[in-house]
Amino acid sequence: MMILRPIQQSDYQALVKIADESGHGFTSLPNNEELLQKKIDHSVSSFAKATQQPGDEGYLFVLEDSETGEVVGTSGIEAAVGLDDAFYHYHLSKVIHSSRTLDVYKAVDILTLCNDYTGATELCTLFLKDGYRKNNNGKLLSKARFMFINQHKERFADTVIAEMRGVSDDNGESPFWQWLEEHFFSMDFPTADYLTGIGQKVFIAELMPKYPIYVNLLSKDAQAVIGQVHDNTRPAIELLKSEGFTFNGYVDIFDAGPTVEAKVDNIATVRNAQTVKVEIGESQGDTTVLLANDKIADFRATVTQVSLSCDADSITISSELAKALHLEAGDSVSLAKL
């Protein structure tokens, strides 16, 4: 059984392995042991914190195989980005160059540095180990976060975003960054990406071009990857699109990967979630659902099959599943069909 739960101090070594496996371009999980320990500490304190509004909380979850105890993936939520450190994007828009006298009209794409997503809730740190990218494990890692947000809306902003990993090669080289490096930086992409991941962002404000960049002045390779995702990220962005997330022209300042956004109440899993009572007994079903308890520090979620009728206000689950989800008979549980 695959169970999603909040990260614990005992998961430190597992997180180090995941950070190592995730590779270049995975900014939210840099391969820095001190920082990873701080991320765990911050997550544990965030889950324990009593709050009625989004702040600097960061919630990190892990996916555990209950049969082996192995941690096989992770995903996270930042309650509100940009409150302490500036949160940068490029916004892709157009300017018009026209002259009636010369009968010239040309629309030109530009990239403008901005902080438009300050205060938004961010989905982040989604990574699943190679051998476990099957069944519904990826959906559980991603969609369970929507259940948590839905159950505790006071902890999160109305707008939810996700930065998608942009195009880079096996050595971590980004065509978009190569152009920026040539003209504005003397630093390769993995180094810049790593520095951002460990919180050293001041160089962005110091060295990034302050004025809009005309896209047609970039190299052809750099232009081609604006708003495009890394091959490994395609399943993740397709899942988010199916949830109602849209791309509105915001891209990452390093690899130009797209950032997608949605209002909380427009997210499909949030709209379709039901709350039902738990009964414990013999359980057989043919409807695949995502189940999540309504706890915070003891949050648990899984994908299972249940018997579900249209007007049901309760479901029956096995004692084994109830124990894994920290549920007792009569408790409420959130349910969403997959």
Asked if residue 25 has pLDDT above 60, the reply is no
Cα 10-11-15 angle, rounded to 5 deg: 150
Q: Is residue 230 flagged as an active site residue?
A: yes
Question: Which is catalytic among the residues 24, 97, 230, 326?
Answer: 230
Q: Is residue 95 in a domain? A: no
Does the pLDDT of residue 118 top 90, yes or no? Answer: yes
Residue 104 in any domain: the answer is no
- Domain boundary, last residue among 269, 295, 321: 269
Chain centroid offset of residue 151 CA: 18
What Å distances lie between residue 122 and 119, 136, 168, CA to CA? 9, 22, 22
What pLDDT score does 308 carry? Answer: 79
Among candidate residues 275, 278, 243, 277, the one with its CA nearest the CA of residue 260 = 243
Of the residues 231, 248, 269, the one at which a domain ends: 269
pLDDT-above-90 percentage for the chain: 68
Same domain, 31 and 123: yes
Judgement on whether residues 207 and 64 belong to the same structural domain of the protein? yes
Domain assignment present for 307: yes
Q: What are phi and psi of 70, to 5 degrees?
A: -80, 135
Average model confidence (pLDDT) for the chain?
90
Q: Are residues 214 and 123 in the same domain?
A: yes
Say yes or no: 285 and 264 in one domain.
Answer: no
Q: What is the pLDDT of residues 126-143, one digit of tens each?
A: 999 988 988 999 999 999
Q: Is the pLDDT of residue 46 over 70?
A: yes
Q: What is the pLDDT of residues 279-304, one digit of tens each?
A: 998 877 888 999 999 999 999 999 99
- Overall average pLDDT of the 57-81 stretch: 96
Question: 243: domain range?
Answer: 2-89+114-269
Q: What is the pLDDT of residue 174?
A: 87
- Report pLDDT for 200: 64
pLDDT of residue 201: 61
Cα angle, residue 13 at apex, residues 12 and 17 outer, rounded to 5°: 120
Looking at residue 209, its pLDDT comes to 80
Number of separate domains in the chain: 2
The answer to whether residue 79 sits within a structural domain is yes
- pLDDT value at residue 266: 97
1-10, 82-91, 269-278, range with the lowest pLDDT = 82-91
Query: Does residue 205 carry a pLDDT above 70?
Result: no
Domain edge (last residue) among 269, 293, 310: 269
Query: Is 279 found in the same domain as 234?
Result: no
Q: What is the pLDDT of residue 78?
A: 97
pLDDT tens, position by position, 140-186: 999 999 999 999 999 999 999 999 989 988 777 889 988 888 888 77
213 strand-pairing partners: 111
